[in-house]
A and B are shown apart, each in its own frame.
Chain A
Amino acid sequence: MAYNILIVDDSTPMRAVIKKVVKASGFNVGQFFEAMDGHDALKVLHHEWIDLVLTDYNMPHMNGLELVEKMNKDENLKSIPAIMITTEGSRERVQEFMAKGVTDYIKKPFTPEQIKQKLKHVMGATEDEKQRYDNGDEELDF
Chain B
Amino acid sequence: MKNKDMTTAMKNSISEVLETMFFLSLDFFHNDADIRDLWTMGKDQIVAAKLNFSGPLSGCAIFCIPKKSAVSITADFMGKDEEEISDDQINGTVKEIINMIIGNTFSRYDPDVVFDLGVPELVAFNDFLKEVSDSEKRFSIVIETLENYLAFQMNIKNA
Q: Which residues of A contact B (CB under 8 A)?
A: 10-14, 16-17, 20, 58-60, 86-93, 107-111
A-contacting 9-mer, from B16-24, B34-42, B132-140, B145-153: B16-24
Query: With A13-B93, A58-B99, A58-B117 in contact, do A89 and B111 touch (Cβ < 8 Å)?
Result: yes
Q: Which of B16, B95, B104, B112 contacts A92 (CB 8 A)?
A: B112
Q: How distant is the Cα of A58 from the Cα of B93 in the complex, in angstroms?
A: 15
Q: How distant is the Cα of A18 from the Cα of B36 in the complex, in angstroms?
A: 35
A11 touches B114 (CB 8 A): no
B89 touches A13 (CB 8 A): yes
B88 touches A12 (CB 8 A): yes
A58 touches B115 (CB 8 A): no
The listed residue with most B CB atoms (<10 A of its CB), out of A20, A88, A107, is: A88
Query: With A11-B95, A87-B100, A87-B117 in contact, do A109 and B16 touch (Cβ < 8 Å)?
Result: yes
B21 touches A109 (CB 8 A): yes
Within 8 A of A (CB), among B60-105: 74, 77-79, 88-89, 92-93, 95-96, 99-100, 102-104
Interface size on B, residues (CB 8 A): 30
Give chain B residues whose Cβ lies under 8 Å from the Cβ of A87. 99-100, 102-104, 107, 117
Q: How distant is the Cα of A89 from the Cα of B112 in the complex, in angstroms?
A: 9
Q: Which residues of B contact A (CB under 8 A)?
A: 16-17, 20-21, 74, 77-79, 88-89, 92-93, 95-96, 99-100, 102-104, 106-108, 110-115, 117, 119
Q: Which residue of B lies closest to A108 (CB)?
A: B100
Q: Which of B20, B114, B119 contacts A90 (CB 8 A)?
A: B114
Please give 9 more A-B residue pairs, beta carbons under 8 A apart, in addition to A11-B92, A89-B107.
A89-B104, A90-B111, A90-B113, A90-B115, A91-B111, A91-B112, A92-B113, A109-B17, A110-B21
* 18 residue pairs A–B, Cβ–Cβ below 8 Å: A12-B89, A13-B77, A13-B92, A14-B92, A16-B78, A58-B119, A87-B104, A89-B111, A90-B107, A90-B113, A90-B115, A91-B112, A93-B114, A108-B17, A108-B21, A109-B20, A109-B21, A110-B21
Say how far B84's CB is from chain A's closest CB, in angstroms: 11
Chain A interface mostly helix, strand, loop or mixed?
A: loop
B78 touches A17 (CB 8 A): yes
The listed residue with most B CB atoms (<10 A of its CB), out of A11, A14, A86, A109, is: A109
